[in-house]
Structure 1
Amino acid sequence: MTTNLQAYQDYLIKEKNYSLLTVNAYLNDVLSFQEFLKINHESVALEEVVYPLIRSWIVLLVENKISNKSVNRKISSLKSYYKFLLRIKQIDVNPLLKHKSLKIPKKVQIPFSEREIENVFEVNQFSKDFEGIRNQLIIELFYTTGMRRAELINLKLSSIDFSNQTLKVLGKRNKERIIPLLLCTKSLLKEYLIVRLEKVKPSFSDVLILSKTGNKISESFVYRLINDYFSSVSLKVKKSPHVLRHSFATHLLNNGADLNSVKELLGHASLSSTQIYTHSSLNELKKVYQESHPRNQK
């Protein structure tokens, strides 16, 4: 690894506070482009690149059937690296300054219905031991707060404020937000904290959600848990924490919540991010409209 790449890795870890998984993903994308240069433009170093060379890499990726979404991710990693080089004065101009991302067709995410959510709690008889209460709490937190998977995994004991009935969540770019808790969620949290005592390890003493061995849970564990529980009540192809977050937003909108409030609860920086959740509420609105308008009764 070159000196600049090593410095970039340190920057991502120490200053950006990215996880090792994210850091490795960024570095692998940059190294992939470096390999392309080595094969096709051997005399050109990463620091000497001009946009046409990057463009030729993009063309190659597309020709190799790499999806637009994956190409955009790779270019985003590369753009981040060149921003870093600009910052440390290793280059004068970011070669990706005027690059426009490839278009990605929007996929309509289908949320769980309110009935499917209810069925998860009715069909699955959660045991009253540590794992049963913890699993129920994970599903409950996703559906009643709309938090992201990484946000749930990184919750601390200090995140809970029982007196104000709120939860402090650390979102993207280390942005904090306060989410109100329902009484049922507050009650389940208290129940969980009692059984959690038997699993606590000193190294993870402030981590809220623990594995059965007392360690911090992983993203793959959370994904499998949601998929397993919802497989018994839903035929939807995708059953993930994000679908639960989507369901949270959609059900709030269906029941009269305004878009700005949902935006704040989700931790979105702009309304445009929240608007992707409105298609389902619009469908519900159309249904109510068709069934209720007097002109349609004739």
Structure 2
Amino acid sequence: MIVRFCITLQSSNFLYLSKQPLHPAVAKFLSYIQLEKRYSDHTAVAYEQDLRQFFDYLQTQYDGVPELTAIGHLHIRSWLASLMAEKQQARTVNRKISALKSFFKYTVRQGWVKQTPMVKVAAPKISRRLPGFIDEKGMQAVEDNKSLRRGQEETPIFADDLEGDTHRLIFELLYNTGIRLSELINLQERNVDTGNLTIKVLGKGNKERIIPVSRELLQQVQDYNARKRRELEQPEGVVLLVHPKSGRKLYPKYVYNMVRGYLTEHQITTITRKSPHVLRHTFATHLTNAGADINAIKELLGHSSLAATQVYTHNTIEKLKNVFKQAHPKA
């Protein structure tokens, strides 16, 4: 039987309301990852979309959704083949496989099926892409507040007003701490510990981590807090960063567009992907290039496994290769 399940996800950024019927097992699984596993709103929405797509495929291709115990690896392979035929990227397909793996593990734990069909499903290989990052010259321009645009080297990147201070602090926090965009906009004033020179961040899976910061950055935070209270009538008092006009909590699109705009306009970097996440990559890459311990970088980034952090060592190897080619007489 198909039931109507309504999943409401509230965050500072959106209200997501699903109106289409869901398989009851999927509905219970989504409730489980939200209420018990405390997955992020973004992950819950992605899982619902992927599982809905899979069961819609079964409904269409097999004249009705089979019983859970009857769903096998051939059903799943057939769906994945259809996705690949639609030119879906391997990374996207792997995300959908991950959603199915989590779902069927849940059904096994609930005793609804004896074995997950995912054991016979192989994920497509993904060509590892090295994360783009900003070089030291580009980040020094941000620190010095001087544009790299040709002929306008003395032009300030950030204006001397509340908006400019907000944007500059966003850049400084992203680069100096390596935090994610979601972690940045949810950062609270009370998370800043001026005594211990640290910032507490709430990351994925509600995991907290402590990141050391410089006195200069903390002074910038204090100056920003004073200015926003002085120039805004009622700034939101919990979060650290607020919209320079409304005083409300920032939203992801605002930060994304702002960072992309500055990186492009002032020619801070030539890489194609210009986003807040590039500053996280830059943080990790610069630490790696400077000889920082890979396990320490893992903790600072909040990665759950070392494999996710090791990609930055490849950037260092590529840099060494370039140095070798340019400097060694036998290269």
Specify whether residues 70 and 125 from structure 1 end up closer, same or farther in structure 2 by C-alpha distance, changes over 3 A only: closer
1:41 positional shift: 1.1
1:290 positional shift: 7.0
Note if contact 1:133-1:191 (Cα within 8 Å) is conserved in structure 2.
Answer: no
1:168 positional shift: 0.8
Q: Could you tell me how far apart the structure 2 residues matched to 1:138 and 1:98 are?
A: 45
**Could you tell me which residue of structure 2 aligns to residue 211 of structure 1?**
243
**Could you tell me which residue of structure 2 aligns to residue 144 of structure 1?**
176
Q: Does 1:269 align with 2:291?
A: no
Q: TM-score, normalised on structure 1? A: 0.89
Q: Say which SS state the counterpart of residue 315 (structure 2) adopts.
A: helix
Query: What whole-Å deviation, never above 9, does each CA across 1:88-116 have from its counterpart, x for those lacking one?
Result: 33322222135332100111223111101
1:268 positional shift: 2.0
* Range that drifts further, 110-119 or 76-85: 76-85
Within a 5 Å distance, the mapping from 1:2-41 to structure 2 comes to: 2-41=23-62
Q: Could you tell me how far apart the structure 2 residues matched to 1:189 and 1:180 are?
A: 14
**Could you tell me which residue of structure 1 aligns to residue 107 of structure 2?**
85
Q: Does 1:258 align with 2:258?
A: no
Q: Say which SS state the counterpart of residue 211 (structure 2) adopts.
A: strand
Q: Say which SS state the counterpart of residue 39 (structure 2) adopts.
A: coil
- Among residues 134, 141, 146, which one is paired with 2:166 in the alignment? 134
What is the aligned length?
294
Q: Could you tell me how far apart the structure 2 residues matched to 1:268 and 1:23 are?
A: 20
Note if contact 1:34-1:46 (Cα within 8 Å) is conserved in structure 2.
Answer: no
Q: Could you tell me how far apart the structure 1 residues matched to 2:67 and 2:186 are?
A: 35
Amino acid aligned to 2:260: N
Specify whether residues 32 and 199 from structure 1 end up closer, same or farther in structure 2 by C-alpha distance, changes over 3 A only: farther
- Among residues 317, 323, 329, which one is paired with 1:282 in the alignment? 317
**Could you tell me which residue of structure 1 aligns to residue 18 of structure 2?**
none
Specify whether residues 78 and 200 from structure 1 end up closer, same or farther in structure 2 by C-alpha distance, changes over 3 A only: farther
Q: Say which SS state the counterpart of residue 126 (structure 2) adopts.
A: coil
1:46 positional shift: 5.9
Q: Say which SS state the counterpart of residue 278 (structure 2) adopts.
A: helix
1:85 positional shift: 2.4
Specify whether residues 211 and 104 from structure 1 end up closer, same or farther in structure 2 by C-alpha distance, changes over 3 A only: same
Q: Could you tell me how far apart the structure 2 residues matched to 1:46 and 1:223 are?
A: 43
Gapped runs of 5+ residues in structure 1?
none
Query: What whole-Å deviation, never above 9, does each CA across 1:125-170 have from its counterpart, x for those lacking one?
Result: 4234322111111100111111111211221122111100000112
1:201 positional shift: 5.6
Q: TM-score, normalised on structure 2? A: 0.81
Note if contact 2:55-2:65 (Cα within 8 Å) is conserved in structure 1.
Answer: no
Specify whether residues 164 and 98 from structure 1 end up closer, same or farther in structure 2 by C-alpha distance, changes over 3 A only: farther
Amino acid aligned to 1:15: E
**Could you tell me which residue of structure 1 aligns to residue 146 of structure 2?**
122
- Among residues 73, 76, 93, which one is paired with 1:51 in the alignment? 73
* Range that drifts further, 252-261 or 71-80: 252-261
Specify whether residues 223 and 46 from structure 1 end up closer, same or farther in structure 2 by C-alpha distance, changes over 3 A only: farther
Note if contact 2:73-2:118 (Cα within 8 Å) is conserved in structure 1.
Answer: yes
Specify whether residues 18 and 201 from structure 1 end up closer, same or farther in structure 2 by C-alpha distance, changes over 3 A only: farther
Q: 4+ residue stretches of structure 1 with deviation over 4 A? A: 198-202, 286-293
Q: Could you tell me how far apart the structure 1 residues matched to 2:285 and 2:238 are?
A: 32
Q: Say which SS state the counterpart of residue 147 (structure 1) adopts.
A: coil
Q: Could you tell me how far apart the structure 1 residues matched to 2:67 and 2:191 are?
A: 43
- Among residues 256, 278, 282, which one is paired with 1:243 in the alignment? 278
Q: Could you tell me how far apart the structure 2 residues matched to 1:32 and 1:284 are?
A: 42
Specify whether residues 99 and 215 from structure 1 end up closer, same or farther in structure 2 by C-alpha distance, changes over 3 A only: farther
1:287 positional shift: 5.4
Q: Does 1:63 align with 2:81?
A: no
